[in-house]
Amino acid sequence: MSEAVHFVCLKWGDKYPASYVNRLYHMVSRNLTQPFRFHCLTENASGLEPGIEHLPLETSDLTGWWYKLSLFQRDFFGLEGDLVYLDLDVVITGNIDFLINQPGDFIIIRNWSRNKMWNSSVMRFRIGEYAHVWERFQGEQERVVRDMNGDQEWIYACVPEAKNWPADKIVSYKKSLKSKAFRPLEKLGLDRLGLKAPDWMDTPLPAHAAIVIFHGKPDPEDVATQAYGLWKRASFIERCWK
**Residues 146-157, mean pLDDT to the nearest whole number:** 93
Right CATH for 5-164 from 3.30.300.10, 3.40.50.2300, 3.90.550.10, 3.30.300.30: 3.90.550.10
**If pLDDT is split at 50, 70 and 90, which confidence band does 1 have?**
very low
Residues 6-44 pLDDT 10s: 999 999 988 899 999 999 999 999 999 999 999 999 999
Residues 168-216 pLDDT 10s: 999 999 999 999 987 766 655 555 666 788 899 999 999 999 999 999 8
Dump the DSSP string for 75-141. Answer: SSTT--SEEEEE-TT-EE-S--THHHHS--SEEEEEPSSSSS-EEEEEEEEETTTTHHHHHHHHHHH
Q: Where are the domains of the chain?
A: 5-164, 167-242
**pTM here?**
0.92
pLDDT at 172: 97
**Residues 75-101, mean pLDDT to the nearest whole number:** 97
